[in-house]
Amino acid sequence: MKPIEIEDIDKLPGIRIRENDTFCFRCHPEVECFNQCCRNLNLFLYPYDVLRLKQSLGLSSDEFLDRHVDIVMRPANFFPDVLLRMAENTEKTCPFLIESGCSVYPDRPDTCRTFPVEQGMLYDADRKKDTPVHFFRPPDFCQGQYEKKEWTLPAWIRDQEAERHHQLTIRWAGLKRLFQNDPWGFEGPQGPKAKMAFMATYNIDRYRDFVFQSSFLKRYKVKSEILKKLKTDDVQLLKFGFEWVNVFIWGMRSKDIRPR
Ligand code: SF4
Ligand code: SF4
């Protein structure tokens, strides 16, 4: 999710949707474009997407990243982005696309959930706050935009069960925005600190081993009730990983993670 500058907001493609605006859309297997949107995509995966997909596929986060993603550096950011790797066929279909539709539908990524509504982040520097902004942006071939079913944004987000994804993506966007500044120094973005920050946010099973099987707990004081949750709860571990990156990379204070 790219951060949006306030002066650019009216230049972006698509129709901006505010909370009480309505739009018409319906996707179903009878549309002639069915599944056309699930191919040849630059589909960015956020940390919670990876968590849900690896659970859905019964893989470790390590295996998921190995099999299904490409890691890229984009200009003006010093943290890598994660792209879902498309299948090696002529149409470059999504690897999870099957004839009947999406094979990981209950765990599909954030971007797929509210498609063709896209979410971006507007940063208010005065209030130091990220605000989500939404655009209705169906591709020309998408027939769903000509259907009669009317939605407000909150109703659409609810219908697609996207609340949890959105919450965690907003949290992630706040952390990712910090990486518009280079924290790596001479190590660069391939160095050991960068690898650890990536592990804490994207490779959650490895990060759990790191918390419990390295000298981590000798270096950081963490309450026992929190540690108990981290042993089994991937979402708590992901939130903890975000917090730890704030402490470890950006030197922020945390009430839950105290350097010893
Ligand atoms: S994850 Fe599912 S919905 Fe998203 S592009 Fe792939 S097949 Fe389509
Ligand atoms: S292009 Fe639009 S209507 Fe067609 S399958 Fe994709 S979301 Fe549905």
Q: How far is the CA of 247 from the centre of ligand 1 (A)?
A: 34
Place of tokens 């009947």: 100
CA atoms within 13 A on the CB side of 246: 19
What would the pLDDT profile of 2-57 be if each residue is shown by its tens digit? 566 656 666 677 899 998 999 999 999 999 999 999 999 999 999 999 999 999 99
User: What confidence score (pLDDT) does residue 218 get?
Assistant: 97
Encoding tokens for residue 103? 């094979």
From the CA of 99, the nearest ligand is 1
Write down the pLDDT at residue 5: 62
Q: Which parts of the chain fold into alpha helices (H)? A: 47-57, 61-68, 110-114, 153-159, 163-178, 192-202, 204-213, 216-219, 224-232, 234-250
For residue 71, the CA-to-ligand 1 centroid distance in Å is 19
Query: What confidence tier does 130 reach under pLDDT thresholds 50, 70, 90?
Result: confident
Question: pLDDT at position 7, please?
Answer: 60
Structure tokens at 164: 């949890």
- Tell me which of 2-6, 63-67, 137-141, 226-230 is least confident: 2-6
The protein residue with its alpha carbon nearest to ligand 1, atom 2, reads: 102
- Comparing CA positions, the residue from 110, 129, 117 lying closest to residue 155 is 117
Residues 177-221 have pLDDT tens digits of: 999 999 999 999 999 999 999 999 999 999 999 999 999 999 999
Q: How far is the CA of 120 from the centre of ligand 2 (A)?
A: 21
In this predicted model, which residue has the larger pLDDT, 131 or 42?
42
